Amino acid sequence: MANKESTGELEFDDLQLQKEAESQLEERQKIADYDIREYPVEVLVDKFTDSSGNDEADFFIPDYQRELVWDIKRQSRFIESILMNLPIPYIFIAEVKGGENDGRAEIVDGAQRMRTLQSFMCNKLQLQDMKQLTKMNGFRFSDLSQGRQRRVKRKTIRLIELTHNMDEEARREMFDRLNTGGIILKPMEQRMGTNDGEFVDFMKRLAQSDLFIELCPISSAKLVRREREEFILRFFAYFENYKSFEHRVDEFLDSYLKKMNEEGFDEAEYTNIFKQMLHFIKRTFQYGFRKTASNKSVPRIRFECMAVGAALALKEDPELAPDNVDWLYSKEFGYLTRSDASNSRVKVRNRIHYVRDNLLNREVELEGDPEDVFFDPREVSTPQQSIFDK
């Protein structure tokens, strides 16, 4: 493969460099492999030590990381977030293989949070300048009520554990990358942290369903951002209230989650609705929620309309067993579920109705002229002919 001297561009007429580049990328991805873990604060503090502490502790801070630079005000603000049950950014740790630290976990990012937690739990940190919990300024951990102390100890924090494939040089680079800028929490992560309650716990349990995981694969990047719980929240919110949806998805979901946490729900009934829907999807659609066998993840819009449409159809006919689902591959369904399809009230209703009514083998209830609903100047890839052309 030759370089273009005039432009500096490469001529891709030789596949060898492309193969080598792909091999290098795959090798680096293996190095950055990881697992997700979640520990209560009390367990985290027990597993952690400063460089001058117990050398047998599971978690440690390496020499290359900076010393604690958070002042008392910033430490107090972090503890205030813990006390208010706000979402906490991930702590990154890396398993060490070989040497004196073999089997231990190095804190790649989150050392100051760990030090602050240790200082507070060990009664060394006295809270100051908190803006929300002003009544607790001056408190140490021991000044909290016994009940509150227990809740703080049980508060869980999520960790991303990088495998032992990552050597010290790679861990240093990861630290530099992570500290270039803060990790912005996704809306669902914020909801999970600020709306603690029975329905949140319920969603967490459903998210671990083997059938759900099988039918609705989600990329690892989205998985760590609570995407499974997001799908479940969207399913129930639209299933019960899609006709009241206007435009703002975040407000719609926030309102529904708050209502469910505060007013309560029949867990057995909701579990049954979700499981019946999943079993129907498995029986009816060859690839589950995926478009093809090769798809590795499912878009939100596709999941929403298929799941909610199926559940609404089952509500009308619990014994539903459609003979033909070719409409799933039609241009019309492609228009309704394309990646940039808006979340306007009309489009949400139309795509849910499209699935529901096709499953029930009846005329689709659409808002607007069908020619306008399905109009799009772009081509939508489809393996089958439009049902309107038959």
Query: pLDDT tens for residues 66-79?
Result: 455 688 999 999 99
Handedness of CA 190, 191, 192, 195 (dihedral sign): positive
Residue 112 has pLDDT above 60, yes or no: yes
Tallying the residues shown for the chain, one arrives at: 390
Judgement on whether residues 173 and 302 belong to the same structural domain of the protein: no
In this prediction, residue 387 carries a pLDDT of 36
In this prediction, residue 1 carries a pLDDT of 45
In this prediction, residue 177 carries a pLDDT of 58
Judgement on whether residues 30 and 76 belong to the same structural domain of the protein: yes
Judgement on whether residues 29 and 124 belong to the same structural domain of the protein: yes
Judgement on whether residues 230 and 326 belong to the same structural domain of the protein: yes
- Structural domain contains residue 6: no
Average pLDDT of the segment spanning 222-229? 80
Judgement on whether residues 50 and 157 belong to the same structural domain of the protein: yes
Judgement on whether residues 197 and 171 belong to the same structural domain of the protein: no
Average pLDDT of the segment spanning 135-164? 90
Q: Pick the last residue of a domain from 181, 209, 226.
A: 181
Run of H or E including 159: strand 156-162
Judgement on whether residues 212 and 347 belong to the same structural domain of the protein: yes
Residue 331 has pLDDT above 50, yes or no: yes
- Structural domain contains residue 101: yes
- In percent, the amount of the chain with pLDDT more than 70 equals 74
Q: Pick the last residue of a domain from 131, 147, 181.
A: 181
Highest mean pLDDT among 24-38, 61-75, 217-231: 217-231
Query: Which amino acid, one-letter code, is at 203?
Result: M
Residue 270 has pLDDT above 70, yes or no: yes
Average pLDDT of the segment spanning 149-157? 93
Average pLDDT of the segment spanning 24-31? 60
Query: Which amino acid, one-letter code, is at 94?
Result: A
Number of domains in the chain: 2
- Structural domain contains residue 10: no
Judgement on whether residues 136 and 206 belong to the same structural domain of the protein: no
- Structural domain contains residue 144: yes
Residue with the bigger pLDDT between 124 and 196: it is 124
Q: Which of 206, 148, 159 is nearest to 183 (CA)?
A: 159
Judgement on whether residues 89 and 143 belong to the same structural domain of the protein: yes
| Bridge partners, 10 (sequence order) | 3
Q: Which of 129, 148, 156, 147 is nearest to 45 (CA)?
A: 156
Confidence of residue 380 (pLDDT cuts 50, 70, 90): very low
Residue 334 has pLDDT above 90, yes or no: no
- Structural domain contains residue 345: yes
In this prediction, residue 259 carries a pLDDT of 92
Helices (H), the chain: 15-31, 41-47, 72-83, 111-121, 146-154, 168-178, 187-194, 198-207, 210-215, 220-223, 227-241, 249-263, 267-284, 300-316, 331-337, 345-359, 370-373
Angstrom distance (rounded) from CA 291 to CA 352:
17
98: left (phi over 0), alpha (psi -120 to 50) or beta: left
Average pLDDT of the segment spanning 361-374? 78
- In percent, the amount of the chain with pLDDT more than 90 equals 43
Q: Which domain holds residue 55?
A: 15-181
Look up residue 90 and give its two tokens: 């991930």
Judgement on whether residues 96 and 125 belong to the same structural domain of the protein: yes
Q: Pick the last residue of a domain from 156, 181, 206.
A: 181
Sequence-separated (6 or more) residues with CB below 8 Å from residue 381:
334
Residue 375 has pLDDT above 90, yes or no: no
Average pLDDT in the chain = 80
| Bridge partners, 95 (sequence order) | 105
- What single DSSP character describes residue 134? G
In this prediction, residue 179 carries a pLDDT of 53
Judgement on whether residues 202 and 331 belong to the same structural domain of the protein: yes
- Structural domain contains residue 2: no
Q: Which of 74, 79, 71 is nearest to 136 (CA)?
A: 79
- Structural domain contains residue 210: yes
Judgement on whether residues 93 and 216 belong to the same structural domain of the protein: no
Residue with the bigger pLDDT between 302 and 194: it is 302
Are 237 and 252 spatial neighbours (Cβ–Cβ below 8 Å)?
yes
Query: Angle at the Cα of 179 (from 174 to 185), degrees rounded to 5?
Result: 100
Run of H or E including 91: strand 91-95
- Structural domain contains residue 7: no
Q: How many CB atoms lie within 10 A of CB 105?
A: 22
Return the biggest CA–CA distance within the chain. 76
